[in-house]
Chains A and B, each alone.
Chain A
Amino acid sequence: MTPGRYRGGGGGPSARESGAAAIWKGAASFAVLLCLLMCGVLRVLWCFSLGSGNFVTPVVGERFCEASVNGRSEWFPEPNVCSDKRVFVSLLLAAPEMENRNLSRMMSFGISDVALECVMGYIDDPRDRDAISQVCRRWYHIDSITRKHITIALCYSTTPERLRKRFPRLESIKLKGKPRAAMFNLIPEDWGGYAGPWVSEIAGAFNCLKNIHFRRMIVQDADIEVLVKARGHMLIGLKLDKCSGFSTDALRLVARSCRCLRTLFLEESSIIENDGEWLHELAVYNTVLEALNFYMTELRAVSWQDLVLLATNCKFLTSLKISECDLLDLVNFFNAATALEEFGGGSFNEQGGEVQKYQSVRFPPRLCRLGLSYMGTNEMPIIFPCAGNLKKLDLQFTLLSTEDHCQLIQQCPNLEVLEVRNVIGDRGLEIVAQRCKKLRRLRIERGEDEYEDEQGKVSQRGLSAVAQGCLELQYMAVYVSDITNAALECIGTFSKNLYDFRLVLLDREERITDLPLDNGVRALLRGCTKLQRFALYLRHGGLTDVGLRYIGEFSQNIRYMLLGYVGESDRGLLGFSRGCPDLQKLELRGCCFSERALAHAVMQLTALRYIWVQGYNASPDGTDLLAMARKFWNIEFIPPQQLYVEGTPVAEQPAHILAYYSLAGRRTDYPNTVVPIYPV
């Protein structure tokens, strides 16, 4: 199981602000502070209706709790645990101020609704919003109507109707369907995540919606038709991210009808290709497009003339990521796209012959984010002229050697985001550490072993170098061939800005220098206090039960975890589950825990809303899972099966367990491969 690519909404924690906005922000912070201060007093008044109608008694099951992960918010429903505080209320009532029942004015503290709406508009963090919405009915209502964006981390956790009732004026929505494991061919294609019901609601009710992002969902042509008919005239951003089920006909409709579209994102979607007309129509009808992305799709009918037309008509085109199209065909495009800052994809089909062929490719002057597919050693020099400006470099799909990586990175001192395969080697990482002082995100994917460079292995040497050299690092995801506790301690010491760390220990080498990693992991977790996302995928003997307990003990702020082959027994899991106070989403793979222990752990992890497990100590009939049965908790079981990828059988997949909080009740659209388990 590999660490997933993390795409933060805003990238980093802070944004530039103008002076006026700063003042409003200050006012907003004050309001939040006030709100939080009063929460203690006001909360007790919830449960007690004073007949004024200004107090809300939270309905059981209606409280929605959101979590923000560095600009990206996740929304999970949470059963309400309202408790009776009448005792306190009666004490308060004794106070003379309470004689005056005009508490509505008191609630607002002299701030009018209009002002409150303005102030709340600047509060984006979903956790702050959650707190605000619980102060009183008025604030709940204002939050309701001013909420602009929502991310629903699992589309089955709630229903479209509930969303509409809660936030009728949404401008932006992000919905996720299939579990993350689908990116690794582990989830059946027809598992679910249908956009249909959501699209119907969007078409019917959400009048302010301008941005739609579906991720890992099944979106059909008919859905897009409905969407476009209802919201096409207002749509600014449409992202069908790793989706499937639609064709180029639907894209054509989008191109023709959504004239305000600034972002069309189709990365890694499975699209049925009928022709290339959609691109032509997009080029003809759109003049405001800023970002077009059909990277990692299998679209073939890409006409470079259409791209040139697009560049000519869309003066603001800053980002283009395409499927395979020879770079020589794009020379005219690059000349036309003067505003371009980001390019990804393409192809090098004429690599055999002369070395000079691709030298005619000149990138636009502002280009600072680049990723070229199938680029080899001979073609690499075309990047040199703009290497000094590069802030983001994607070499995951290139054909470069370790030495090539070293040469290239040597010329990129402004790099902030680097994505490579482990062919970069420790040597390449040492150069990164020396040169790329501004590096924020580093991703080192797994190469193909047999075809890669001999030096293409990453170990504790490279990791330690990067930790010490790149102090701005916020995100690090690596596949390593070898590791030591010292390297992890080094990361804990130096990488103080790390909020997302993922380590996978490859299974090629039989002997690992320094296992178990208990102490290193503890040092890393204690040192990286900002850590919110954490993945550790090891092997038998990689982490003892004590080490697993350390993870529980020292992960105060971690909200997402992927653990693979950790621990030795159920005791480790139970020790782990006593900690992790903020853990919302947990993925486990290849662990030795029994169903009973898993169920117990789920009940102990107080913040847990989602768990996925594959490879565990199954009981013959799964009854032990029922120990975690409870209201609003959906449990799905995917029995072992043969998975197919494009017609060919892949290895037999063991069973999965997926469980999550949901207010939507029973799922009605599951396929034969999924067995739901519901509480009686």
Chain B
Amino acid sequence: MSKSYVEIDFFEMERRKNAASKPSSPEFAPSSFRGIQNLVSRINPQLLKTAMSAGRAWSSDNTPAWAPTSSIPPSPTRTALTSPLPAVYNPVSRCSCVCPTADSTAPLSIIYNGTVTVFDVPHDKALAIMRIAEMGLLEKPAEDSVLDGNQVAGDLPMARRKSLLRFFEKRKER
């Protein structure tokens, strides 16, 4: 089965190479790692979680042997705040814009907050995920969130008091 890879051009390599020929891609490719961090950190976490869980649902069993399939969580250490893991750059496939057939899946690697997660998704779903991420990125925070009416206030859900939470749970049981 032919494996094709969907690659997100974080390092602008392809863009620089094909600057003249390709139409301008959206502002999705910062030129530095810090830029990536900023970029990724500005993506609404809810958005990202939705994208990730959607991706997971679609992933198939044929993940290539070389790709890490599990998420690597960051480990907090006592001594210092370690910098997050460096971006996983896949040197194997340098072909840009490979278009697999509609029903074959390819790995989609997402690096977020030091975690590397790989999903196997079909091409159209991958595009959909990228589109969602773009939307979340380009939207000003002041505008209404398209995702969830309850998250208008921002990224942090409003915390509830313990005593009231317990009361609500018990009320449901009655």
Contact = CB atoms under 8 A, between A and B. Distances in A.
Contacts of A666: none
B78 A2 contact: no
- Secondary structure of the A side of the interface? loop
Given A541-B142, A675-B78, A675-B81, A508 B156 contact: no
Contact of B34 (A374, A451, A620, A622): A620
Nearest to B161: A2
A445 interface: yes
Contacts of A374: 170-171, 174
B162 A1 contact: no
Given A510-B144, A620-B37, A622-B81, A590 B153 contact: yes
B156 A539 contact: no
A210 B174 CA distance: 42
A589 B153 CA distance: 12
B163 interface: yes
B64 interface: no
A654 interface: yes
Interface string A498-541: 00000011111110000000000000000000000000011111
Contacts of A645: 165
Interface in A660-680: 672-673, 675-676
A397 B169 CA distance: 12
Interface stretch (A181-189, A313-321, A454-462): A181-189
For the side of the interface on B, what is the size category? 35 or more
A622 B74 CA distance: 15
A509 B152 CA distance: 8
A569 B83 CA distance: 25
Contact of A183 (B155, B162, B171): B162
Interface string A174-196: 00000001011110000000000
A537 B165 CA distance: 19
Contacts of B170: 374
A621 B150 CA distance: 31
Interface residues of A, number: 52
A537 to B, nearest CB: 8
Contacts of B157: 651
Nearest to A296: B163
A539 B172 CA distance: 30
A183 B161 contact: yes
Interface string B135-174: 0000001101000011111111111111111111011101
A641 B75 CA distance: 10
A181 B167 CA distance: 19
A2 B154 contact: no
B159 A1 contact: yes
17 contacts: A1-B159, A2-B158, A183-B162, A184-B162, A268-B163, A421-B164, A448-B171, A451-B171, A508-B150, A509-B152, A540-B142, A590-B154, A618-B41, A621-B81, A621-B83, A641-B76, A675-B81
Interface of B: 34, 37, 41, 74, 76-78, 80-84, 113, 141-142, 144, 149-168, 170-172, 174
CB-based closest 9 A-B pairs: A507-B153, A184-B159, A639-B76, A539-B153, A622-B81, A590-B156, A541-B142, A615-B156, A540-B141
Given A448-B168, A537-B158, A623-B81, 7 more contacts: A1-B159, A397-B167, A509-B152, A590-B153, A620-B84, A645-B165, A672-B78
